[in-house]
Amino acid sequence: MILIIDSGGTKIEWRTIKENGTIQQGRTHGFHPLFQNEKDLLTIINSLKGEIALPPDFIYYYGTGFLSKDQNELVHNALTSIFNRAIVEVNGDLLGVARALCSADKGFACILGTGSNSCYYNGKSIEKNIPPLGYILGDEGSGASMGKMLLQAYCRGSLNTELSASFEKRFGFTREELVTKVYSEERPNHFLASFTKFILHHQNTPIIYNIIRSSFKEFVEKVLLRYDFIEQYPIHFSGSIAFYFNSVLRQVLNDHQLTVGNIVESPTAGLALFHQKYIRD
């Protein structure tokens, strides 16, 4: 049996595939190696183990936040300590998205969720990656980016009266409280990204639409256009921001004469197909 784990900082989506094709799937708490430790991960994996009908023979883990070999090994060791008979492969979430959306074809794969990332995938591996740099220095096109733009507009009085009133009614923060909270949050990128639900609800107003468009435009111009031959292959996207704001995303890419490929909220289904077709052959 195969176990596929797609791990984000907020949630893990997992799927098992038996030899007869039977599929079991579910969700549990996410894991981010920059903010959580081995004890947190073991708790999450034990919870996941309790949901799975049979012990897996192969585990393919794709996770966010892998910046070093040590972080990769932490996840690998935790998985093998609990599933001690399984063959375990641990990779970053970007390779998971590339495999899910490109399969064995060449193309560009992007993540637009709480943060953002991108790569050129040569059909087998990631050949080039423009560093995303995180929510302070980068993460253009992400939920954190849009949330930051919204808070800037609110705190500097750029929102109209109606939008400001709606914002204050929904969140109840003063401008001073907002600024303090951003800089005191344990995970400020998630706090910033939490405002995208408000952005989605008001996306048809000109001010909010411009925030969405500006964030995607930054991602295209500061990241995608730095790839050579970006115009030669389709550009695929995964993540809630890409999925729920896909109409604006398509417009921005079309304005730059770039080819939009698939846009999905989660890569899990595509990863299941990839591993069934290519890994087990």
- For residue 277, pLDDT beyond 80: no
Condensed to tens digits (0 to 9), the pLDDT of residues 3-18 reads 898 887 778 888 888 8
Whether the model clears a pTM of 0.85, i.e. scores above it, the answer is yes
Residue spans of the domains in the chain: they are: 2-98+268-279, 137-213
Between 49 and 146, name the one with better pLDDT: 146
Distance CA 230, CA 259 (A): 9
Confidence of residue 45 (pLDDT cuts 50, 70, 90): confident
Confidence of residue 223 (pLDDT cuts 50, 70, 90): very high
Q: What is the CATH number of domain 137-213?
A: 1.10.720.160
The percent of residues above 70 in pLDDT, for the chain, comes to 97
Condensed to tens digits (0 to 9), the pLDDT of residues 75-113 reads 888 888 888 888 888 988 899 999 999 988 999 999 999
What would the mean pLDDT of 181-203 be, rounded to a whole number? Answer: 91
Domain 2-98+268-279, CATH number (from 3.30.420.40, 3.20.20.70, 1.10.1760.20, 1.25.40.10): 3.30.420.40
Lowest mean pLDDT among 49-53, 172-176, 207-211, 244-248: 49-53
Burial of 178 (0-12, 13-18, 19+ CB in 10 A): middle
Confidence of residue 144 (pLDDT cuts 50, 70, 90): very high
Distant-in-sequence, close-in-space partners of 212: CB < 8 Å, separation ≥ 6: 146, 199, 203, 245, 248
Place of tokens 């939008």: 163
